């Protein structure tokens, strides 16, 4: 019988079949992931589990490359084997951990891993066909990082593979020369074990899978079927320490997993604010309008005076947003009535506090008149050089001399290219315009105690602050919160319509984020309270309109009555989280002694808008904790432990920042920590 060698074509057919199978599996996995992704918005009695346990089973499609000739010390075949392929069994228990609706998780599989296969047939020197098949298997330990890019059921995974060799047998058969079909087979089948095997392999893998629920979230124990496919390249997968035989594997299979969810609390707590919820197939809409006690409050605020005057780019004239008096107005000027001398360019937020700052030159001139021995140095910093900076300083000197009648000998002027504490750093590339605006300024320096903050001295000390009686603004926690949970995935945008009991309609939006907070004053105006019908209108990604309704009662926020509340501020330099040294003594010797017994101290940290929003929030919290640490240390030295602290890192949030960010002085004042001292009720 004549033997015909068709192994090359046969190998191509097998590889084509494997490729088609794997491609089909991948396409199916992506389709299933797309179909299942929207299902997470359904109502449930139990949460999705974080821990999953189960087992995985699949087929290893093994592909051989390299060269193999010396099978062991007793058998070296006459012709080198190069290519081959085969299918082996993979079965392993598994454990997974990932929190629902997150991207990252961990996976671990450890089990039986077969890398069996057969080499393509070769011809020996006698023109005899030779075949070599293998039965390799391992115990594999495969930890992986799990990544769900869409926070959905579809996931990718990758990690190392640690394998310990279990079996290493082979079967070798040499046939007869096909030219002599009637010849009796003279070479019997040879079985044995490969020598020089690597007992341990360290390689890697990357794969993809999709979780298909087999049970709903109405059950605490939930089951998931997870088809998967992975690719394990030949790197690190050399079975032997001799020759060049290596194995590349594509694995396809499925895992069955189970986990236990946590029961969702459905009973409302009496202590929570009223929450009215309207549910839909994809989005949960809720309104949270906190109750409030109406009262009047007066807070004594110590407002710091930043000893900088900022100049517009390309100009050496004092900007018109600063309040400049006429000579005849000087005798009537008083620090305790600055509302009579208002800036024309207030940006609308914390007007009264910023108006104090915009009177800095008048406050300085008045204090120098009352303290004839006080002297100052004006240091102008300009990106154009010291000469331009000195011109800026001279314009302020001219104003103080001509309007307040200050002797020119009491005022020294200097020029610099950069201020001592500069915002723009060498090599910086981001937001340079804002940074340069902050560096183009005149610093007011003095060694006269009459002009400076308590317990401070030296040219870098801030000017003495101004005391104000102010009404605090509503905190974020008093806002009415509207939440459309799931809207980011379900809607392109959503908007709100609020209709009160008189039929007056207000519209807000459109929004793309899931949660929006609106101050009660924005909704009510001057009304003390009101009932509202709220309609949320969402635009779906396929062009449809969805409406959900809720009702709520809104009460105008007014702060709790506090007779002797006090507010202090600490100002930070750009990108700094440690308090300026001079403030350490101020907090310790001025602020701490004024904190009453059993008081509550609320500390809020803020930043300007320069820089990354996340980093700014962390920086703000670091600043607030810095102040808390200084006060706690001072209280401890005084033998006190009666004060309760609340610390918040607000960051750059422009809805709640103390000041706007239009001008450099507003950005400098936003680099602050505000300390509210509230005595016990």
Helix (H) or strand (E) holding 651: strand 644-651
The class (CATH top level) of 308-464 is alpha beta
**146-178 as b/e: b if 16+ CB within 10 A:** bebeeebbbbebbbebbbebeebebebbbbbeb
Segment 84-93 mean pLDDT: 96
Which whole-number Å values give the CA distances from 114 to 134, 168, 196, in the listed order?
10, 10, 19
CATH 3.30.1330.60 domain locations along the chain: 308-464, 565-678
Q: Is the dihedral of CA 289, 290, 294, 295 positive or negative?
A: negative
Residue 298 is predicted with a pLDDT of 61
Output the furthest CA–CA distance in the chain (Å, rounded): 130
Q: Is the pLDDT of residue 582 over 50?
A: yes
DSSP assignment of 590-649 equals: IIGGGS-TT-EEEEEEE--SSS-HHHHHHHHHHHHHHHHHHHHHHHHHTT----EEEEEE
d(CA 158, CA 144): 5
Q: Find, among 522, 551, 524, 553, the residue nearest to 535 by Cα.
A: 551
Laid out side by side, the sheet with 491-500 consists of 505-511, 491-500, 529-540, 545-555
Segment 154-162 mean pLDDT: 95
- pTM for this structure? 0.45
Burial zone of 250 (CB within 10 Å; 0-12 exposed, 13-18 middle, 19+ buried)? buried
Residue 620 is predicted with a pLDDT of 87
d(CA 564, CA 8): 93
Cα 576 vs. chain centroid, distance in angstroms?
20
Q: Find, among 664, 590, 671, the residue nearest to 623 by Cα.
A: 671
Segment 597-619 mean pLDDT: 89
Q: Which of 263-277, 318-332, 365-379, 484-498 has the lowest mean pLDDT?
A: 263-277
Which whole-number Å values give the CA distances from 103 to 155, 157, 243, 454, 580, in the listed order?
8, 11, 43, 53, 41
Per the CB < 8 A criterion, the answer to whether 31 and 153 are in contact is no
State pLDDT tens for residues 54-81.
999 999 999 999 999 999 999 999 999 9
What is the percent of the chain with per-residue pLDDT over 90, rounded to a whole number? 42
Q: Find, among 482, 499, 477, the residue nearest to 655 by Cα.
A: 477
Per the CB < 8 A criterion, the answer to whether 293 and 558 are in contact is yes
Residue 338 is predicted with a pLDDT of 75
Q: Is the pLDDT of residue 427 over 70?
A: no
Band (pLDDT 50/70/90 cuts) for residue 146 is very high
Q: What angle do CA 52, 58, 59 make, to 5 degrees?
A: 160
State pLDDT tens for residues 336-353.
777 767 776 665 557 778
Would you give the DSSP letter of residue 127?
S
State pLDDT tens for residues 294-321.
444 567 778 888 889 999 988 999 999 9
Residue 185 is predicted with a pLDDT of 61
Q: What angle do CA 404, 410, 414 make, to 5 degrees?
A: 105
d(CA 377, CA 464): 16
Q: Is the pLDDT of residue 388 over 70?
A: yes
Q: Which of 22-36, 135-149, 657-671 has the lowest mean pLDDT?
A: 22-36
Band (pLDDT 50/70/90 cuts) for residue 608 is confident
The 3-state DSSP class for residue 324 equals: coil
Per CATH, domain 275-295+474-555 is 2.60.40.10: yes
d(CA 585, CA 451): 17
CATH 2.60.40.10 domain locations along the chain: 275-295+474-555
Residue 297 is predicted with a pLDDT of 53
Residue 197 is predicted with a pLDDT of 94
Helix axes 351-358, 360-370, angle to 10 degrees: 50
122 has which bridge partners?
130
554 has which bridge partners?
530
d(CA 349, CA 31): 52
Q: Is the pLDDT of residue 111 over 60?
A: yes
HEC string of 423-465?
CCCCCCCCCHHHHHHHHCEEEEEECCHHHECCCCCCCCCCEEE
Q: Is the dihedral of CA 273, 274, 279, 282 positive or negative?
A: negative
Region for 142 from its dihedrals, namely left if φ exceeds 0, alpha if ψ lies in -120 to 50, beta otherwise: beta
What is the percent of the chain with per-residue pLDDT over 70, rounded to a whole number? 81
Mean pLDDT over all residues of the chain?
82
More confident residue, 180 or 31: 180
d(CA 174, CA 407): 114
State pLDDT tens for residues 169-224.
999 998 888 877 666 666 678 999 999 999 999 999 999 999 999 988 788 899 99
Half-sphere exposure of 340 (CA within 13 A, CB side): 10
Q: What are phi and psi of 324, to 5 degrees?
A: -115, 125
| CATH code that applies to domain 565-678 | 3.30.1330.60
Cα 443 vs. chain centroid, distance in angstroms?
37
**Which two structure tokens, joined as six digits, stand for 36?**
């299942």
State pLDDT tens for residues 6-23.
343 344 444 444 454 445
State pLDDT tens for residues 524-567.
888 888 899 999 998 888 888 888 888 888 888 776 554 567 88
**Which two structure tokens, joined as six digits, stand for 133?**
């098949």
């Amino acid at each position: 019988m004549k033997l015909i060698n068709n192994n090359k074509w046969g190998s191509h057919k097998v590889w084509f079949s494997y490729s088609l199978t794997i491609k089909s599996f991948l396409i199916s996995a992506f389709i299933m992931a797309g179909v299942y992704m929207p299902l997470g918005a359904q109502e449930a009695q139990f949460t999705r589990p974080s821990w999953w346990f189960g087992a995985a089973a699949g087929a290893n499609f093994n592909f051989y490359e390299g060269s193999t000739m010396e099978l062991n010390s007793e058998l070296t075949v006459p012709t080198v084997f190069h290519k081959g392929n085969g299918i082996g069994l993979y079965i392993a228990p598994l454990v997974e951990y990932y929190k629902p609706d997150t991207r990252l998780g961990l996976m671990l599989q450890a089990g039986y891993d077969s890398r069996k296969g057969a080499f393509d047939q070769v011809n020996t020197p006698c023109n005899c066909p030779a075949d070599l098949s293998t039965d390799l298997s391992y115990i594999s330990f495969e930890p992986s990082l799990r990544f769900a890019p869409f926070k959905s059921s579809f996931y990718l995974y990758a990690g190392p593979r640690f394998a310990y060799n279990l079996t290493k047998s082979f079967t070798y058969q040499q046939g007869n020369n096909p030219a002599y079909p009637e010849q009796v087979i003279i070479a019997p089948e040879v079985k044995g074990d490969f020598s020089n095997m690597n007992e341990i392999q360290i390689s890697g893998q990357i794969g993809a899978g999709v979780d298909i629920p087999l049970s709903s979230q109405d059950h605490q124990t939930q089951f998931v079927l997870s088809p998967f496919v992975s690719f394990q390249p030949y790197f690190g997968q050399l079975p032997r320490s001799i020759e060049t035989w290596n194995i590349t594997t594509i694995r396809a299979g499925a895992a069955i997993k189970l986990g236990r969810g946590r029961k969702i609390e459905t009973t409302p707590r009496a202590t929570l604010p009223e929450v009215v919820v309207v549910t839909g197939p994809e989005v949960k809409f809720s309104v949270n309008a906190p109750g409030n006690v109406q009262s009047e409050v007066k807070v004594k605020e110590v407002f710091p005076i930043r000893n900088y005057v900022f100049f517009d780019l390309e100009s050496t004239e004092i900007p018109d947003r600063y309040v400049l008096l006429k000579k005849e107005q000087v005798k009537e000027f008083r620090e305790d009535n600055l509302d009579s001398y208002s800036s024309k360019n207030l940006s609308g937020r914390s007007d009264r506090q910023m108006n104090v700052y915009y009177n800095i030159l008048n406050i300085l001139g008045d204090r120098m008149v009352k303290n004839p021995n006080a002297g100052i140095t004006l240091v102008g910093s300009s990106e154009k050089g010291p000469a331009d900076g000195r011109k800026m300083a001279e314009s302020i000197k001219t104003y103080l001399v001509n309007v307040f009648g200050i002797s020119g000998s009491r005022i020294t002027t200097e020029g610099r290219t950069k201020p001592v504490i500069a915002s723009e750093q060498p090599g910086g590339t981001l937001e340079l315009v804002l940074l340069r605006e902050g560096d183009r300024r005149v610093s007011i320096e003095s060694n006269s105690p009459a002009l400076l903050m308590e317990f401070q001295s030296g040219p870098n000390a801030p000017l003495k602050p101004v005391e104000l009686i102010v009404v605090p603004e509503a905190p974020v926690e008093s806002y009415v919160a509207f939440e459309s949970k799931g809207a980011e995935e379900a809607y392109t945008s959503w908007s709100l319509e609020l209709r009160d009991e008189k039929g007056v309609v207000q519209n807000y939006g459109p929004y793309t984020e899931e949660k929006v907070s609106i101050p009660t004053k924005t909704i009510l105006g001057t009304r003390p309270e009101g009932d509202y019908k709220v309609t949320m209108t969402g635009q779906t990604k396929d062009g449809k309109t969805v409406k959900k309704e809720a009702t709520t009662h809104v009460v105008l926020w007014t702060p709790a009555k506090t007779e002797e509340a006090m507010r202090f501020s600490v100002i930070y330099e750009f990108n700094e989280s440690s308090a300026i040294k001079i403030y350490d003594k101020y907090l310790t010797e001025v602020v701490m002694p004024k904190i009453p017994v059993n008081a509550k101290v609320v500390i809020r940290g803020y930043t300007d808008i320069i820089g990354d929003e996340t980093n700014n929030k962390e920086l703000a919290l670091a600043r607030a904790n810095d102040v808390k640490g200084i006060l706690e240390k001072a209280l401890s030295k005084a033998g006190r432990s009666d004060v309760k602290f609340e610390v918040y890192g607000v960051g750059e949030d422009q809805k709640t920042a103390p000041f706007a960010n239009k001008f450099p002085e507003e950005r400098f004042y936003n680099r602050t920590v505000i300390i509210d001292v509230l005595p016990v009720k």
